Amino acid sequence: MGQTARVSAIAWTAAGSLAAWLWLLLCQGFFWRTDVRLPQRAEPDEWPSVCVVVPARDEAAVLPASLPSLLAQDYPGRAEIFLIDDGSSDGTGELARELARRHGGLPLTVDSPGEPPAGWTGKLWAVRHGIGLARARDPEYLLLTDADIAHAPDSLRELVAAARTGGFDVVSQMARLRVESLWERLVVPAFVYFFAQLYPFRRIGEKGARTAAAAGGCVLLRADAAERARIPDAIRHAVIDDVALARAVKGGGGHIWLGLAERVDSVRPYPRLSDLWRMVSRSAYAQLRHNPLVLAGTVAGLALVYLVPPVALVAGLAGGDTASAVVGGVAWLVMAGTYVPMLRYYRQPLWLAPLLPFTAFLYLLMTVDSAVQHYRGRGAAWKGRTYTRPDAVPDEG
């Protein structure tokens, strides 16, 4: 009797997981589809001026693969690049100047903002300094892009054309991250998949919808919208600055758009699991607003949605409980099916789809580790700076 009750509990739990997956499949903005790309656009009669702001801290390893792509932008209007060297110790600023001398192209200004004051994350302090320099040029648009992002030659003109045609205050593209090592193949496509599940791209572009997000590696922002939303001052303490920026702009009545990139790529490598672990855990608990109840709910939700289906299938087969095996297997199949489009977008083999529960378990551990580091006083980090609370003074090293 006890065995029957135990198996029945597994079957009911698996049914809850399957119900969750059916809801995600049909009611979460079709997050699993990867066809949200730059919207229809037409070239404007007159191209507006653009200033590109690149915060950079110890980026000498990736700049040779990224900065030349910005310098070589085929943009018909006036455009200028401001690279803000945020206290680098590896010669980032001088390398940027050398690359500009060697490659030519768009004008490049390299400057440094000094140490951030209390209450500012280092990256946003660098962005603030870059925007301040850019405003002297009175641009209509600002392109905020990270130092590891390589752009196709027509990237800027396509972004501007999309913003002008659609009347968007923000046009952001989720750069295609590198997937070469085994761990990158396992973790990186899932990272974008989970992000889209939290912030369905279709809902972000809807006026009146509350969902707001951007991808920090590539954000085209109207300068007047930035002023209205007080960017970046209003989000100066944000660790997840791209989402905070989108919320500020949309909260002020702005129209934003986010989708997957076609020829905007991150060149930063994450060859080892430890590299990816740091990337996720540095901000995972900040995403949960440092709330232990939200953390507990997130862990329980990840377990129910991603771990229960394979456990139910195996337990059902081992215990002769057909209901658990069937329901768990169907839930796992739906899960894997929703992951296939992202794997295709990243040009990865489809046999990775059934491994999504394993990857989700890694993300669960990374999230818990992020909370542990927070309560140990380590906090979130960006390029050697750690932030233990929104108003904390950055701790170097």
248-305 confidence digits (pLDDT tens): 999 999 999 999 998 999 999 999 999 999 999 988 998 898 999 999 999 999 999 9
- In sequence order, what are the residues at sequence separation of 6 or more whose Cβ sits closer than 8 angstroms to the Cβ of residue 139? 48, 49, 50, 51, 80, 223
pLDDT (0 to 100) of residue 212: 96
Distance CA 208, CA 255 (A): 9
The whole-model pTM stands at: 0.92
Domains contained in the chain, CATH given: 9-30+276-372 (no CATH), 50-270 (3.90.550.10)
> Tokens 């195996």 label which residue?
314
Q: CB of 50 within 8 A of CB of 140?
A: yes
Closest CA relative to residue 124, chosen from 259, 248, 297: 248
Counted residue by residue, the chain has a size of 397
* pLDDT at 140 (0 to 100): 98
Supply the pLDDT for residue 391. Answer: 40
Quote the pLDDT of residue 67: 98
The pLDDT of residue 396 is: 33
Which residues in the chain show pLDDT less than 50? Answer: 1-4, 6-7, 389-397
Cα separation, 194 vs 196, whole angstroms: 5
Measured between alpha carbons, how far is 148 from 65 in angstroms, rounded to an integer? Answer: 8
> Where does the chain have alpha helices with state H?
2-27, 63-71, 92-103, 122-135, 155-166, 182-198, 201-204, 223-228, 241-251, 273-287, 292-302, 308-319, 322-345, 356-375
Give the integer Cα–Cα distance in Å for 389 and 289. Answer: 10
Tens digits of per-residue pLDDT, 10-48? 999 999 999 999 999 999 999 999 999 999 899 999 999
At residue 380, the pLDDT reads: 57
Angle (deg, nearest 10), helices 322-345 and 356-375:
80
**CA–CA separation, 296 and 92 (whole Å):** 41
pLDDT given at position 394: 38
Token pair 């894997």 in the structure block, residue = 336
Name the CA radius of gyration of the chain, rounded.
22
Give the Cα-Cα-Cα angle 201, 367, 385 (nearest 5 degrees).
90
Report the C-alpha gap between 68 and 147 in whole angstroms.
Answer: 11
In sequence order, what are the residues at sequence separation of 6 or more whose Cβ sits closer than 8 angstroms to the Cβ of residue 123? Answer: 55, 57, 86, 241, 382, 383
Q: Among positive and negative, which fits the CA dihedral 345, 346, 350, 356?
A: negative
Q: Which amino acid is at 197?
A: Q
Determine whether 203 is exposed, middle or buried from the number of CB atoms within 10 Å of its CB (0-12, 13-18, 19+).
middle
Tell me what pLDDT residue 165 has: 96
Count CA atoms within 13 Å of residue 49 on its CB side. Answer: 14
The structure tokens listed for 263 are 């020829």
Q: Which two tokens stand for residue 48?
A: 């507006």
Q: Return the pLDDT at 379.
A: 58
351 to 325, 345, 392: CA distances (angstroms): 21, 14, 44
